[in-house]
Amino acid sequence: MAGDADSFRPVRQTPSGRLTRFAVVSSFRDAIFARDDIPQDFDQVEAIEVAGYLATATRTGTYWTATVKDLPGGHVVEAQGATWNQLGSNVLHCVAEFLDSDDVGVAVVPADPDAADALHAVVEARTARFHAEQAERAAVIHAAHLLAGQGWTVRDIGSALGLSHQRIAQIAPRAVT
């Protein structure tokens, strides 16, 4: 029947090809509570000093090639890898070996400016999402505690915030059940 509760439940196909409806165990709103908060003293965490280098990467046939140019004495190091991940590992190993030091960091970026900008935009978007999730967690926790303090039940708080009553019981354990 259109409009009933089942019509809004997700559908999946079983291995036999039959379509079945299933309940989502955890809502997307609950997912933010599975992530860690940004530490309060994050900007004061003692950093480990490492020499940082930039490697520019290009695709050469079936391999990636990375070049690091700003090494001491004007030296240049090149490394290859079949995958982006392998390239990063290989170039880090080559630079560390050249410098005879494990305290080395290498950032691998595409030589193509458009590709580099696209990857940078993804990192920026993920960082913004991380901060937005932190702000949402803080707002939900504040609201749950405020509403619980006003005598709301965990079910009513959960309904108002779009979360399960179980999640509210975790966030505001003194809420009325």
CATH code of the domain covering residue 75: 3.30.2390
Residue 150 DSSP one-character state: T
The mean pLDDT of the chain is 82
Tell me which of 2-6, 24-28, 98-102 is least confident. Answer: 2-6
Instruction: Assess whether 100 and 130 both reside in one domain.
Output: no
Higher local confidence (pLDDT), 45 or 62? 62
Residue 18 lies in a domain: no
**Domain span at 122:** 112-177
Instruction: Assess whether 123 and 88 both reside in one domain.
Output: no
pLDDT digits (tens, 9 = 90+) for 18-29: 655 444 434 667
pLDDT band at 44 (very low <50, low <70, confident <90, very high): low
| Residue at which a domain ends, from 111, 135, 153 | 111
Residue 140 lies in a domain: yes
Please give the pLDDT value at position 1.
42
Phi-psi region of 122 (alpha: psi -120 to 50; beta: other; left: phi over 0): alpha
Please give the pLDDT value at position 2.
44
Residue 33 DSSP one-character state: G
Instruction: Assess whether 175 and 116 both reside in one domain.
Output: yes
